[in-house]
Every structure is written in structure tokens, then in C-alpha cells.
């Protein structure tokens, strides 16, 4: 019998939507040239030995289905267990903030009923980190708690991360938003499967609430613990955060924390040739993905697959997504260029590190 089953929620909106989430759910936003945010939660589960994972989908699910498909790239195309893509409620994406909507859990109760695992590991997808969930499960089992939250002491303010208040080792309250020194909830928890089914039934008449909103009144009666970790985490709830997290990936120390060799972050495989660099091109402090064709200058940037930088073009401090063309002599600085864009020859697109320019998906500019 499996000790845990996984559940990933993607049916939610972020508080500050941008052009990046106009045509796709937040969980499927591309990251670091080849990944999507959902890859981190899913890989953390698979690396912990979880062989059954359900993903609760939003209404605009196409990009997530296209990316995850059968789960083959995560070893989840299995006869027993595997990957389950499950419907979310239509109500889910209209609420900004809550990421564990009771209505979604109720709608997919059968997924929990049919499994025999002792625990359920539940995670959202907008905080990126690499952590061994087996340690979280072990701490949960040893404590005998009803629910164990994955938390971290924050060294900055984060308005979209919930603060957790503990006393005598037990969680006594939640507040939306964290300040320096607060214990922040990493949107991941483990709960006994039977207890989760019990909670779903208990709060079925307030199914419009987030699970932890509903739990507030019953905290004294529940044994909820916090499992604090000290790891790199990247919160991504708006374009500014996305840009900041992307630029952090140019630091080798951050890459080493997020991608340790013993815990691979898996993603959908693409058969692209290596990037091609023409004579006279110049690339410094950048991540360039397969299939790119570089004829100009690229600095301090991240380029996804099949990006073309034509002669005389300059890309500096940018995130350029799949299939974009930066035309001859164009100059792009401090910008996020979503996929399938053409920046015409001689065009200048400039943002600043604090006010990044975002060009939405497939919007060609003449």
C-alpha cells in the first residue's frame, strides 16, 4: 500500500494577474526556458516516491493538459496509480488568494475515496522550491498530527503568502500576508486521507471557502503542526515577481539549491537541437535553450526554445519565451516577451528592473 497520494491544485487566480496569465493558468506559466511552475510540485511528489497524483484543473486547462499529458515524463504513465487530471469548479479561478477551494475537493472526493494511501500530500504550484516531501511525510507521521504544513521563516514581506502562528508546537492561526521574520505557509501540507474526507464532509455547506478559511474556527480542536524548512523558495504571483525569480536563476548558488542532482525537476521532453551561435554573436551570463539561433548580443537573459536573435539585435536583462524572433538591430531591455512574438527590425522595447515591460503572447509589433 502506498503511504501517500498526491494532489495538486491549479484552479485558482493570482492576486495580481498580468499578460502572462491572460491566456493560461498560473500553474502553466513557462519558467527558466524549459519548465512550467507545476513541474516543481509534481517532481517533488514523484521524487518522494508518490506514484498516484491528481491535478485539479482550471477551466482554461489546455496548456496544462498539453504539458502533462499522460505523465510519462514523470514516470506516471502507469497501470496502477499514475496521473489523474481532474475537473475544478467553475468558481475556482474567480477568487484571488485561496488555493485549496473546498468545492474542488468535494467535486473530486471519489479520487480520495478510491485510494488506500494513509496520507495525502496537497500542494499548489506558485511557490517554486525543491524539497523531499518524504521528510514532510515522516515528520507528519511521527507527530501524529491531523495536518502538517510546510513552512519557512520569511526574510522579506510577501503579501500573497499566508503567515502561520504557532504556540506549543501547534498552529493557532493564519493571516494573509507575511512580514520579515514571520513563518510563511508554502502552500503545501500533508493530511491523513480519512481526516481530509472528514473535513470535506464537515465543511460541505461552506464549499465556497478555502479549506484553511473554514478551518480557522476549529483550530483549537485540530492538531495542526508546522514543519519548518530552510530552503530556497521563489514566490511568483505577478509579473514583477516572475521577472525577479527568473533573474535569480542566473546566480549559480540559487541553481544549485533548486536543482540538486539527487532530486531532479522533471518536465516535458522536447527534441530540440543545441543552440546555434553564429560568428560575431556574443552571449554573457545567460541561459539559452535548445533550438535557439543567436546572431546578435544576449546578456543577463533567459531564452526559451527556438528563439532567434538576428544580427545587430541586443537582448539585455530579459526573459524571452519560445518561438520569439528579435529582429535585426532591435534592442530589448528589462522585458518579458511571451511566446511567438516578433520584435520587428530596429524596434526598441525598454523596461526597468522595477517596472518590467511585458509583451503578451503572440502580439506582433510592427
Number of residues that make up the chain: 366
The whole-number pLDDT of residue 96 equals: 53
What pLDDT, in 10s, does the model give residues 342-361? Answer: 999 999 999 999 999 999 98
More confident residue, 202 or 12: 202
| pLDDT (average), residues 105-112 | 95
Q: What tens digit of pLDDT does each residue of 214-273 get?
A: 998 889 899 999 999 999 999 888 889 999 999 999 999 999 999 999 999 999 999 899
Q: Residue 177: in which H helix or E strand, if any? A: strand 170-178
Q: Work out the mean pLDDT of the chain and round it to a whole number.
A: 91
Give pLDDT tens digits for 319-336.
999 999 999 999 999 999
State the Cα angle at 353 between 347 and 355, rounded to 5°: 75
The yes-or-no verdict on residue 18 having pLDDT over 90 is: no
Q: What is the number of H-type helices and E-type strands within the chain?
A: 9, 28
Using 50, 70 and 90 to split pLDDT, how confident is the model at 365? very low
Residues 75-102 pLDDT 10s = 999 999 999 999 998 765 555 556 899 9
In whole angstroms, give the CA distance from residue 37 to residue 39: 5
Burial of residue 285, with CB atoms counted within 10 A of its CB: 0-12 exposed, 13-18 middle, 19 or more buried: exposed
Domains and CATH numbers, the chain: 4-258 (3.90.550.10), 276-359 (2.160.10.10)
- Distance of alpha carbon 328 from alpha carbon 51, whole angstroms: 49
pTM of the entire structure? Answer: 0.93
In this prediction, residue 366 has a pLDDT band, given cuts at 50, 70 and 90, of: very low
Amino acid at each position: 500500500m502506498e503511504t501517500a497520494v498526491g494532489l495538486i491544485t491549479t484552479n485558482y487566480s493570482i492576486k495580481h494577474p498580468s499578460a502572462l496569465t491572460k491566456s493560461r493558468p498560473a500553474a502553466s506559466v513557462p519558467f527558466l526556458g524549459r519548465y512550467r511552475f507545476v513541474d516543481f510540485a509534481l517532481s517533488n511528489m514523484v521524487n518522494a516516491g508518490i506514484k498516484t497524483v491528481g491535478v485539479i484543473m482550471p477551466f482554461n486547462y489546455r496548456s496544462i493538459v498539453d504539458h502533462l499529458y499522460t505523465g510519462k515524463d514523470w514516470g506516471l504513465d502507469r497501470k496502477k496509480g499514475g496521473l489523474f487530471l481532474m475537473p475544478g469548479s467553475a468558481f475556482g479561478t474567480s477568487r484571488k488568494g485561496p488555493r485549496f477551494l473546498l468545492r474542488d475537493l468535494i467535486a473530486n472526493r471519489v479520487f480520495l475515496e478510491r485510494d488506500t494511501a494513509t496520507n495525502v500530500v496537497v500542494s499548489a504550484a506558485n511557490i517554486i522550491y525543491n524539497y523531499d516531501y518524504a521528510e514532510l511525510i515522516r515528520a507528519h507521521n511521527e507527530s501524529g498530527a491531523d495536518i502538517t504544513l510546510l513552512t519557512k521563516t520569511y526574510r522579506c514581506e510577501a503579501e500573497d503568502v499566508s503567515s502561520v502562528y504557532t504556540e506549543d508546537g501547534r498552529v493557532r492561526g493564519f493571516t494573509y500576508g507575511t512580514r520579515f521574520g514571520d513563518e510563511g505557509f508554502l502552500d503545501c501540507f500533508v493530511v491523513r486521507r480519512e481526516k481530509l474526507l472528514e473535513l470535506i464532509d464537515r465543511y460541505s455547506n461552506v464549499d465556497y471557502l478555502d479549506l484553511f478559511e473554514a478551518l480557522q474556527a476549529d483550530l483549537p480542536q485540530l492538531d495542526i503542526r508546522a514543519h519548518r524548512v530552510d530552503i530556497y523558495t521563489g514566490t511568483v504571483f505577478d509579473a514583477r515577481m516572475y521577472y525577479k525569480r527568473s533573474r535569480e536563476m542566473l546566480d549559480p548558488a540559487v541553481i544549485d539549491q533548486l536543482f540538486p542532482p539527487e532530486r531532479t525537476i522533471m518536465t516535458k521532453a522536447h527534441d530540440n537541437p543545441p543552440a546555434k551561435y553564429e560568428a560575431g554573436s556574443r552571449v554573457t551570463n545567460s541561459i539559452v535553450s535548445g533550438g535557439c539561433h543567436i546572431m546578435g548580443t544576449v546578456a543577463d537573459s533567459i531564452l526559451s526554445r527556438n528563439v532567434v536573435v538576428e544580427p545587430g539585435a541586443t537582448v539585455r536583462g530579459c526573459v524571452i519565451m519560445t518561438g520569439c524572433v528579435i529582429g535585426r538591430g532591435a534592442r530589448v531591455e528589462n522585458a518579458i516577451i511571451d511566446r511567438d512574438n516578433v520584435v520587428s527590425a530596429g524596434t526598441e522595447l525598454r523596461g526597468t528592473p522595477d517596472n518590467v515591460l511585458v509583451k503578451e503572447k503572440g502580439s506582433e509589433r510592427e
